[in-house]
Chains A and B, each alone.
Chain A
Amino acid sequence: MVEMVTKPYAAAFEKHALANPDVLCLSADLTSSCEIDGFRDRHPERFLSMGMAEQNMMSFAGGLGLAGFRPFIHTFGVFMYRRPYDQLMASIAYPRRKVRLMAFLPGITTPGGMTHQSIEDISVMRSIPNMTILETGDATEVESICEAADSIDGPVYCRVLRGSVPRLFDSPIKVGQMRELASGDDVLVVTAGICTEEAMRANSVLSKTGVSVRHLHLHTIKPFDAKALLDHIASVKHGVITLENHVTEGGIGSLVAEAMADAGVGKRLVRLGLKDTYAHGGSRAYLMRYYGLDAIALVRGIEDLMGQKFNVSEQDLDVARVEAVHSLAKAEGL
C-alpha cells in the first residue's frame, strides 16, 4: 500500500518561507482550503489577506515583485487565471515578475463542477510567454514544489495537490528533468499529476500480461526537454500514449504531439484526457472513470495502440482510491 501523506504543502511552504525572507504568502479567501491557515496564524507578518478579489491580487503581486518580494499566491487553479487573466499577463508574465502561482484543485480533483475545475489551465499557461509550469504528482513533489518554483527567474504556475496525497517518489522535483518510472520497449506512456498513479497501477497489471511499458512522469511541463522525450520515443516499438487530468488540447498530449511533429517522428500517438468537453461535479474516482482519465482507460488506450486485447478487467486494477467527501485533511467539501 502506498503511504498517504496529510497536507504535505502546509509544512513545505512554511519551511521554505521561513528560510527565504523575501517570500510572502498571499491568499484570496481560501486560506484553509490551500493549507496555509497554520502559516497565517503563526506568521501573520508574512501573510497578506487579499479577500475574494483575484484581479487586484494579481496586479498587487506584480507590485510586490517590483519591490523585490517573491509572492506565493494561493487559490484554486481556476481563480488564478480565468477572471484575472489580463492582470496575470500585464502585471506578472510580461515583466517576468517572480510570482509563484500555487494553483490548488487541478482539473477534476474537485466536485465543484465547471466553475471550480481548471481543465484548460496548462493549455493557457503554455501559451503565455515567460511562464514556467510545474505539476505535482505525489507528496514528495508537493514537498519540493516551493523550492522548485522559487528557483525560477520569472513567474511559475504550479498545479498543487492537497489533502491526503500518496507518496510515489523518493526524490524531489528537479526542474527541467523527467522521471523514468518504467523502461519497457513496447509503448511509451507519458503522464503528469494524479494520472501518474493511475498509470503505475495500469502498468503493474499490464506487465504481467507481457506488455512492456516505458513510463515517463512529467513535473516540468514548461520549459520542456523535447530531446529526452524523443530518445524515449525512439526506444519503443508501437508508439506513445498520454494521459492527463486536463483537456486533450494544449496539455501534455499536445506537448508530446508537437515534439513528435517537430522532429518528424512517424509513430502513433494516443491522447487521453477530457475530450473537448467541460466536466461536472462528482467524486474524483467517478469523474476519472466518467471522462476516461483512469487506469482502465489507459489499458484500453494501450490496447488500441497495440491492436491487441490484454484481458485486463477493472477488478484486476486496484480500485481507484475513493476519497470521503469529508476527509479531515480538507477544509470544506470541495
Chain B
Amino acid sequence: MQNKRQTVDVALGIRRRVFEHAIRNNGGYLSQACSAAEQLAWLYNEELNLGEPTLPMIPKPFEGVPSADNPDYHTGAGYNGPFEAQYDRLFIAPAHYALNAYATLIEVGRMAPEGLEMFNKDGSSVEMIGAEHSPGMEVHNGTLGIGLSTAAGLAWGRKQRGETGRTWVFMSDGEVQEGQTWEAVQACAHHGIDNVFAIMDVNDQQCDGTMSSVMEVGDIRAKFLAFGAACIEIDGHDLSAMRDAVKEPHAGKPLIILARTNPFHTMSILEERFPRLHYVRFKSEEERARMNISIAKDLGIDPIDYAH
C-alpha cells in the first residue's frame, strides 16, 4: 500500500483537508497540519510497513466502550492493517492531532473522505480527541505523556515473541514536560529496547502559547541523549532529512527523531495568531473569510464555500 503518491503530495492533501474542515467548522487543530503534515505523510506513505486495512473505509458508528458486556469491542487499529509479526504499529500519542491523523488515513487510501465528515459528530467513532475506537488509533492517548511508555512495553513484548515489526510513536513536544516521558526513555535504555521509534513534532507550541513561555524545557535532544536514547534533530519539513534520520544506528536504544517545525508553515496568515496556535477558532466572520482566502491561496485551491 505504499508510495502510490509522492509524500509531498500526501502532506499537501493533509493540509488541504484539515484546512477545509477547520474553515467549515469555524475552527480546529489547524496549526498542527502546518507543523506535522510531513511527518504523518512520511510515516504512512513511506516509512511504516503496514498491511491492508481490516476495517471498513467508512467508519462504523460508536459501538460502545470496553466491557464484559461488549464482546465485539475493537479498537480503530485496523485502519493501520492487521497485527502481524512483520508489520509496524503506530500510536498517535497527542490525541488532539487526531484530525490530522484522520486526514492522513484518507490521503493514503485507508479511510474514505466521508470519515472526516463524521468528525466530532454525536454517535460517531471519529472523535475529536482520538479515542482508541477512532480510526487509526489503538490506545487512548488523550492524557498526554503515556504513549511512549505503552509503545515501549509493546515493543519489548513483540521482541520477546520474535516479531520483526517496529513500534512507532508520533509524539508532541508538550509531552516532554510530563515526567512519564522520561521514565519511558529510561526504561527503554535499561531494557535495551531498540525496536521503538518516535518522531516528535517540535513546534514549540502548547495550549498556552510557546513552550518557553509556559515551561522552559531546554535542550531536549541533550536530555534524550542523557536518558539513554539515540536522538536526531531535523528540519521537520524536510522529507529527505527524515529519510536520513531513521537510518541512524541505535543498537540497544530507542530512536527519537525531533522534527523541528513551524506552526504556521504553508499557512502564513496563521502567524497573526502567534503565539497561541494550539486551537485556532476564528474570532470573527471577517477573520474566517480572510483566512479562508489567504490559506486557500497558499495551498493552491479555491477558497472553501462554507456557507453551503
Contacts and interface: CB of A to CB of B under 8 A. Distances in A.
Given A49-B214, A51-B215, A333 B208 contact: no
Contact of A56 (B66, B131, B179, B213): B179
Closest 7 pairs between A and B when the two form their complex, measured CB to CB: A51-B215, A115-B142, A286-B122, A332-B279, A281-B127, A278-B65, A51-B177
A333 B145 CA distance: 21
B174 A29 contact: yes
Given A53-B179, A280-B65, A333-B28, A112 B208 contact: no
B281 A332 contact: yes
Interface string A81-115: 01100000000000000000000000000011111
Given A52-B215, A116-B142, A278-B66, 19 more contacts: A29-B207, A29-B214, A30-B207, A32-B276, A51-B177, A51-B214, A52-B214, A53-B178, A56-B179, A111-B128, A112-B142, A114-B131, A114-B142, A280-B127, A280-B131, A283-B122, A326-B26, A326-B27, A333-B128
7 contacts: A29-B207, A31-B207, A50-B215, A55-B179, A113-B140, A280-B127, A332-B279
B166 interface: no
Q: How large is the interface on B (under 10, 10 to 19, 20 to 34, 35 or more residues)?
A: 35 or more
A78 interface: yes
Contacts of B27: 326, 333
A184 interface: no
B160 interface: no
Contacts of B213: 49
Given A112-B129, A286-B123, A49 B65 contact: no
Nearest to A283: B122
- B28, B143, B175: residue with the most chain A Cβ atoms closer than 10 Å: B143
A27 interface: yes
B278 interface: yes
Interface in B1-32: 25-28
Nearest to B95: A115
A53 B177 contact: yes
Main secondary structure of the interface of A (DSSP, over half): loop
Contact of B281 (A78, A116, A333): A333
Nearest to B99: A333
Contacts of B140: 113-115
A32 B26 contact: no
Given A32-B208, A326-B25, A333-B27, A83 B143 contact: yes
Nearest to A110: B129
Contacts of A83: 143, 145, 180
Nearest to A326: B26
A79 interface: yes
A334 B95 CA distance: 13
B215 A53 contact: yes
Interface of B: 25-28, 62, 65-67, 95, 120, 122-123, 127-129, 131, 133, 140-145, 174-175, 177-180, 206-208, 213-215, 276, 278-279, 281
A52 B65 contact: no
A49 B217 CA distance: 13
A281 B13 CA distance: 26
A63 interface: no
A29 B276 CA distance: 12
A104 to B, nearest CB: 13
A29 B129 contact: no
Contact of A49 (B25, B208, B281): B208
A49 B213 CA distance: 8
Contacts of A116: 129, 142
Contacts of B174: 29, 52
Nearest to A40: B208
A198 B244 CA distance: 58
A55 B181 CA distance: 13
Interface in A258-283: 277-283
A53 B217 CA distance: 12
B150 to A, nearest CB: 13
Contacts of B178: 52-53
Given A79-B143, A286-B122, A333-B27, A277 B67 contact: yes
A298 B224 CA distance: 53
Contact of A112 (B122, B128, B145): B128
A149 to B, nearest CB: 23
Interface in A194-252: none
Given A115-B95, A282-B122, A332-B281, A52 B143 contact: no
